[in-house]
């Protein structure tokens, strides 16, 4: 079993829809959870960073962590064509070092 599982998609949604992405993991030591956005031919950029269980909101983006279920989610409200990208989840026991990444979810927002 891989440490981090993320269904690679792709996911196509109409503009304005809610995008829901998730990852599961097997390592109970993971405490830090991140979502990165990667545009085509670019490096990943950090979107959301959460510690332990709970919710975090930043504008149209909400990250949720459920450590009891080993499950994390990212929601994008009022999706825009500029949100079209690959979204990677990442996690670590020790903060932002030695991250374990998911495969990434390709999202396409159709105008």
Partner 1 sequence: DAMVIQNPRYQVTQFGKPVTLSCSQTLNHNVMYWYQQKSSQAPKLLFHYYDKDFNNEADTPDNFQSRRPNTSFCFLDIRSPGLGDAAMYLCATSSGDPEETQYFGPGTRLLVL
Residues at the interface with partner 1 (CB under 8 A): 4, 6, 8, 32, 34, 36, 41-46, 49, 88, 94-104
The least distance separating partner 1 from the CB of residue 16, rounded to whole angstroms, comes to 27
* ∠ CA 54-66-79, rounded to 5°: 70
| Measured distance CA(34)–CA(91) in Å, rounded | 6
Please state the closest distance from residue 36 (CB atom) to partner 1, in A.
8
| Strand 105-110 relative to strand 11-14, pairing | parallel
Cβ distance to partner 1 smaller for residue 19 or 91? 91
What is the β-pairing status of strands 61-66 and 11-14?
Answer: unpaired
Alpha carbon distance 27, 58 (integer Å): 27
Q: Nearest distance from residue 103's CB to partner 1, in Å?
A: 5
CB of 97 to partner 1, least distance (A): 6
Return the H-helix or E-strand segment holding 35. strand 32-38
Q: Which is nearer to partner 1, 43 or 59 (CB)?
A: 43
The residue (of 19 and 89) whose beta carbon lies closer to partner 1 is: 89
């Amino acid at each position: 079993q891989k440490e981090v599982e993320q269904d690679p998609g792709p996911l196509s949604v109409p503009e304005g829809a809610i995008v829901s992405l998730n990852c599961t993991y097997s390592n109970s030591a993971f405490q830090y959870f991140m979502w990165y956005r990667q545009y085509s031919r670019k490096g990943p950029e950090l979107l959301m960073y959460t510690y332990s269980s709970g919710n975090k909101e930043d504008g149209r983006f909400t990250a949720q962590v459920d450590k009891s279920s080993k499950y994390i989610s990212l929601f994008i409200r009022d999706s825009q064509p500029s949100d079209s990208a690959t979204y990677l989840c990442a996690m670590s026991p020790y903060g932002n070092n030695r991250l374990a990444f998911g495969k990434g979810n390709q999202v396409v927002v159709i105008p």
